[in-house]
Structure 1
Amino acid sequence: MNAECARPLPDDWVGYPRFFAALGDTIRQQILLLFQTNEEICVNEITRLFELSRPAISHHLKVLRDANVLVSEKRGKEVYYRVNHAHCEQVLRAVQRRFGRADGSRRGPLPGLQAAG
């Protein structure tokens, strides 16, 4: 490994490896797709939609929550999850600042994202 690769992560990048690792699992990606049509979803509903045990689903949700991809709220006996839009947008803005746009330019925000303030 050369010295360029061994540099510490920039301050604005700390915690993002966990974010990206959380997105690297197929089941977690499928769980996240549920939020395209649902503002929030309870654990029981997610478990019903997958052929996995509740502990397995709970593990995947914990990974997403620990990475700040999702936030949870307990209401009575149910736990509801929703996307942590603020954190997801923060990560995308950091990626944009670090690497620029997909077309190679470094100008302007990615479509759908406002410039970081």
Structure 2
Amino acid sequence: MSKVLKNDHTEETLFEVAEFFKVLGDPTRIKIVSALFENGELCVNDIVNLVDVSRTAVSHQLRILKDKRIISYRKEGQMKFYHLDDAHVEVIVLLTITHLSHH
């Protein structure tokens, strides 16, 4: 059995895993993650247009995603360009989609 599947994780690790999936459990946040997955890097205005949510709501959701290290950004002048934090996020989303499509 893989070490990942063994039951030797701390309570803190299990809590963090649950929090990670809780964050991805919000429809607006998953739309943002999907937009970044499909487009690579986007500014706030692009995200607003793609997910059809207000700028305020997108900014709030971006902050949550950034705090949980699901996304990050780079600055270019005054603009922030958001992208998935690493390839693991992409894999998790793809595996979830694959899992759900097996019906």
**What is the CA–CA distance in structure 1 between the aligned matches of 2:82 and 2:19, rounded to whole Å?**
19
Aligned to 1:25: 26
Task: Work out which of the two has the higher radius of gyration on C-alpha atoms and give 1 or 2.
Answer: 1
Q: Verify the 8 A CA contact 2:72 2:82 in the aligned structure 1.
A: yes
CA-to-aligned-CA distance 1:78-109 (integer Å, 9 cap, x gap): 111111125638xx6xxxxxxxxx8xxxxxxx
Distance 1:77 1:84 in 2: 20
1:78 corresponds in structure 2 to 79
Q: 1:112 maps to which residue?
A: none
Q: Distance between the aligned counterparts of 1:25 and 1:13, measured in 2?
A: 19
Deviations 1:23-43 (A, max 9, x none): 010011111111232121111
**Counterparts of 2:18 and 2:67 in 1: how far apart (Å)?**
12
The structure-2 alpha-carbon separation of the partners of 1:37 and 1:88, relative to structure 1 and needing over 3 Å to count, comes to closer
1:58 is matched with which residue?
Answer: 59
SS in 1 for 2:39: coil
Deviation at 1:19, TM superposition (A): 1.4
Superposed CA deviations along residues 57-78 of structure 1, whole A, max 9, x for unmatched, are 0011111111111011221121
**Contact 1:40 1:80 (C-alpha < 8 Å) held by counterparts:** yes
Unpaired stretches in structure 1, ≥5 consecutive residues: 1-7, 93-101, 103-117
Q: Could you tell me which residue of structure 1 aligns to residue 6 of structure 2? A: none
Q: Secondary structure at the match of 1:34?
A: helix
Bigger mean CA offset, 29-38 vs 19-28: 29-38
Query: 5+ unaligned residues in a row in structure 2: which ranges?
Result: 1-9, 93-98
User: Aligned runs of 1:26-41 on 2, under 5 Å?
Assistant: 26-41=27-42
What's the RMSD between the two structures over aligned residues? Answer: 2.8
> How many Å separate the matches in 1 of 2:38 and 2:89?
17
Q: Matches of 1:25 and 1:38 in 2, distance apart? A: 20
